[in-house]
Amino acid sequence: MEGIPFKVLLKEKFPQLSAGQKKVANYLIENLDKATFQTAYQIGRKAEVSETTVIRFSFVLGFEGFSEMQAIIQKQHLQQNKTDLSDEAISHESNDEKDTFTKVIENEVLILRHLLNPINVQDIWKAVDALIEADQILIAGHGISYVAANWFSHMLGSIRGNVSLCSPAGDFFEKFCNLTDKSAVVVFSFPRYAKDMLKIAECTKEQGISLISVTDRLLSPVGRISDITLTTEENVEIGTNSIASVISLLDLVIAGIYEKDQKRIQIHQQRLEKLYSNYEVFVE
């Protein structure tokens, strides 16, 4: 149990939890800094459940009790944040004197640093492998999420074939019916979460097709049911998700594909460049 990252364990066990226990899971994953040293009573109060529910929650996760669960949380959380503490201290030094733009930039830097924690890196490489092995890739996003989905679709399409993007008008099922059990669906979903994206994710899972989500947190509606969940942190300064950190996360995925699939990418891009040249797509 000690070797499994606590957030990963929460995601794996989430479907087995009761409604009250899911409240505890959501509170912990969103407030791990605060919850690390809180008692079962304090966590229950914040999650709006009883102390007993918190204790039963620890049993469902496979711990012998709340004390063992808390000890694991403390150990993993302290290890993960050992290097982050100095960065945050520098970032918040004389914070009142900094202008708005400086605060935003420094917050972005912290978010980008967190993308490279061991859990995120493992999931990024899993996504890279899944996208390389897929015979077809279907990408979907709604509202603000469509911006990132469109960018990712274009970048993937420039290095491999059989990449499709669902249009905002809604043509998911028409494109989805052409997928196979070797395909992959990438769903983008950020607050406020669109119902359409959850339906797409649920359909993908029901049909046994690999589901990758790009979202703000592990237990978001699509994140909790995905095979691979790539997350960025919420921008606490302005209460929205940063498009810069999302694109940076996707850049890491693209870089990983470049590293692992160079030969196929080279062949694809040579064909693409020939078409560009023949039809004078770009101004030289």
Taking only the tens place, the pLDDT of each residue in 43-67 is: 999 999 999 999 999 999 999 899 8
Tokens of 115: 């993308």
Amino acid identity at 131? L
Average pLDDT on 102-115 reads 81
Average pLDDT on 274-283 reads 90
Q: Are 111 and 91 within 8 A, CB to CB?
A: no
Distance, in Å, from the CA atom of 56 to the CA atom of 155, rounded to the nearest integer, reads 46
pLDDT at 111 over 80: no
Average pLDDT on 97-105 reads 79
Distance, in Å, from the CA atom of 84 to the CA atom of 73, rounded to the nearest integer, reads 17
Distance, in Å, from the CA atom of 243 to the CA atom of 246, rounded to the nearest integer, reads 5
Of the candidate ranges 66-70, 80-84, 155-159, 249-253, the one whose mean pLDDT is the lowest:
80-84
What is the C-alpha radius of gyration for the chain, rounded to an integer number of angstroms? 21
Distance, in Å, from the CA atom of 186 to the CA atom of 173, rounded to the nearest integer, reads 14
Give the E-state strand segments of the chain in sequence order: 137-141, 163-165, 184-189, 210-215, 228-231, 234-235, 240-241
Distance, in Å, from the CA atom of 202 to the CA atom of 151, rounded to the nearest integer, reads 24
